[in-house]
């Protein structure tokens, strides 16, 4: 069976880890190009040693590659600002883009929640690491009962946050909050990220706080079951994804009794941790591992359904 050829733009931590995942784990994808802008980057050096075609001339170098027409899917693991330029350059060529930056040009995709909803979109966005970890939990709650407010806190090791992550902090909070609403189903969402400088570095930990207005114990039991089922779905493609402690459902405090037009009765607290698979990065970098694992899951699904993207003529 022929494999779908993919390219990775971005030879930093995320892009390099993604390359290793495709090489080691995928039976349907083939890395046909690793693209960077720093000829001395470790990612390009490793790709060279593994026999992956490389270019240090960015997206223009990718387009100039002799086998560019054979590439169907392009991962962008650069930055929100760079993705806008990369997407514009690739748009006339009919490539499928999987965006691992917070640029959010295309629709949000969280594999465990809406993998099949945007199969015809030329550019899909993987939200953020915090979004990939927490939005499935919000969605698990909202498919049982209304969620007028959901807040997530993503705590990651400072050492796992490279220049791209640090440059995109504002985009992280904005994009994640939007996706909590658009994909997770909350009426209002909020996102916070913490870069933890602890030594030795701690693995990624995420907290989901959701307010609901249903006091029924049967609903609470159904919420617990829904969350546990969702965690199993995510763990199927992110093996290090798990509950850190039991799900907590407690009566709301006085200050939380009204959100919008909804009378809130209970708060749901879910505490997660994400341990990385250490394909390229340390195991504490679960924040990067969940992004690359989710992107790989999306690419393999797109390759399986083979939905074509129309080629647009350059203007």
H/E/C letters for each residue in the chain?
A: CCCEEEEEECCCHHHHHHHHHHHHHCCCEEEEEEECCCCCCHHHHHHHHCCCCEECCHHHHHHCCCCHHHEEEEEECCCHHHHHHHHHHHHHHCCEEEECCCCCCCCECCHHHHCCCCCCCCEEECCCHHHHHHHHHHHHHHCCCCCCEEEEEEEEEHHHCCHHHHHCHHHHHHHHHHHHHHCCCCCCEEEEEEEECCCCCCCEEEEEEEEECCCCHHHHHHHHHHHHHHHHHHHCCCCCEEECCCCEEEECCHHHCEECCEECCEEEEEEEEECCCCCCCCCCCHHHHHHHHHHHHHHHHHHHHCCCCCCCCCC
Looking at residue 154, its pLDDT comes to: 97
Looking at residue 122, its pLDDT comes to: 96
Q: Is 98 a catalytic residue?
A: no
Beta-bridge partner residues of 241: 274
The position carrying tokens 């829904």 is 226
Q: Please tell me the distance from the alpha carbon of residue 237 to that of residue 291, in angstroms, as a whole number.
A: 11
Backbone dihedral angles phi then psi of residue 107, each to the nearest 5 degrees: -70, 150
- Confirm or deny that 41 is annotated as ligand binding: no
- Confirm or deny that 86 is annotated as ligand binding: no
Catalytic option among 71, 98, 129, 234: 129
Looking at residue 315, its pLDDT comes to: 30
Looking at residue 258, its pLDDT comes to: 57
| pTM for this prediction | 0.93
Looking at residue 309, its pLDDT comes to: 52
Q: Please tell me the distance from the alpha carbon of residue 19 to that of residue 296, in angstroms, as a whole number.
A: 10
- Confirm or deny that 161 is annotated as ligand binding: yes
Looking at residue 193, its pLDDT comes to: 95
- Confirm or deny that 252 is annotated as ligand binding: no
pLDDT-flagged residues of the chain (< 50):
310-315
Give the largest Cα separation in the chain, rounded: 65
CB atoms inside a 10 Å sphere around CB 299: 25
């Amino acid at each position: 069976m022929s494999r779908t050829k993919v390219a990775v733009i971005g030879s930093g931590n995320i892009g390099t880890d993604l390359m290793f995942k495709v090489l080691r784990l995928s039976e349907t994808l083939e890395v046909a190009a690793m693209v960077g802008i720093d000829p001395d980057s470790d990612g390009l050096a490793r790709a060279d040693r593994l026999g992956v075609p490389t270019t240090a001339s960015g997206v223009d170098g990718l387009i100039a590659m002799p086998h560019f027409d054979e590439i169907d899917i392009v991962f962008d693991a650069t930055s929100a600002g760079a993705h806008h330029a990369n997407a514009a350059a690739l748009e006339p060529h009919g490539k499928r883009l999987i965006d691992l930056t917070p640029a959010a040009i295309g629709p949000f995709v969280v594999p465990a929640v809406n993998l099949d909803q945007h199969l015809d979109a030329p550019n899909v966005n993987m939200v953020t690491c915090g979004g990939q970890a927490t939005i499935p939990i919000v969605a698990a709650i909202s498919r049982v009962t209304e969620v007028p407010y959901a807040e997530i806190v993503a705590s990651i090791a400072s050492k796992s946050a490279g220049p791209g992550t640090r440059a995109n902090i504002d985009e992280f909070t904005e994009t994640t909050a939007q996706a909590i609403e658009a994909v997770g189903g909350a009426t209002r969402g909020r996102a916070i990220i913490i870069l933890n400088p602890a030594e030795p570095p701690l693995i990624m930990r995420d907290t989901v706080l959701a307010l609901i207005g249903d006091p029924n114990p049967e609903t609470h039991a159904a919420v617990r079951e829904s969350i546990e089922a969702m965690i199993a779905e995510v763990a199927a493609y992110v093996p290090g994804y798990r509950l850190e402690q039991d799900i907590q459902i407690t009566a709301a405090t006085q200050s939380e009794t009204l959100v919008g037009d909804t009378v809130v009765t209970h708060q749901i607290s879910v505490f997660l941790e994400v341990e990385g698979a250490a394909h390229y990065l340390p195991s504490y970098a679960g924040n990067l591992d969940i992004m690359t694992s989710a992107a790989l899951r999306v690419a393999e699904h797109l390759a399986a359904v083979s939905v074509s993207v129309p080629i647009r003529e350059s203007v």
